[in-house]
Amino acid sequence: MNTFIFDRFHAIGVIPVLEIDSAAHAVPTAEALSAGGLPIAEVTLRTEAGLDSIRNIARSLPDTLVGAGTVVNLKQAQEARDAGAQFLVSPGMAEDVVLWAQKNTIPILAGAVTPTEIMRGLNLGLTLFKFFPSETMGGLKAIQAVSDPFPQVRFIPTGGVRFENLADYLRMEKVHAVGGSWMAKRSLIAEGRFDEIRRLAEEARRLVETQRQSLE
Q: Clarify whether 75 is annotated catalytic.
A: no
| Cβ proximity to ligand 3PG, 31 vs 42, nearer residue | 42
Nearer to ligand 3PG, 60 or 135 (CB): 135
Min. distance of Cβ 63 from ligand 3PG in angstroms?
Answer: 23
User: Cβ distance 37 to 201 under 8 Å?
Assistant: yes
Total interface residues for ligand 3PG by CB under 6 A: 12
If the CB atoms of residues 100 and 132 are measured against ligand 3PG, the closer one turns out to be: 132
Question: Catalytic: 42?
Answer: yes
64 makes contact with ligand 3PG (CB under 6 A) = no
Angle of helix 26-35 relative to helix 50-60, nearest 10 degrees, comes to: 50
List the interface residues with ligand 3PG, window 82-141 (CB under 6 A). 132
Name the active-site residue from 75, 79, 103, 130. Answer: 130
State which residue, 101 or 204, has the beta carbon closest to ligand 3PG. 204
Footprint (CB under 6 A) of ligand 3PG, residues 2-41:
17
Residues that bind ligand 3PG (CB under 6 A): 17, 44, 69, 132, 158-161, 179-182
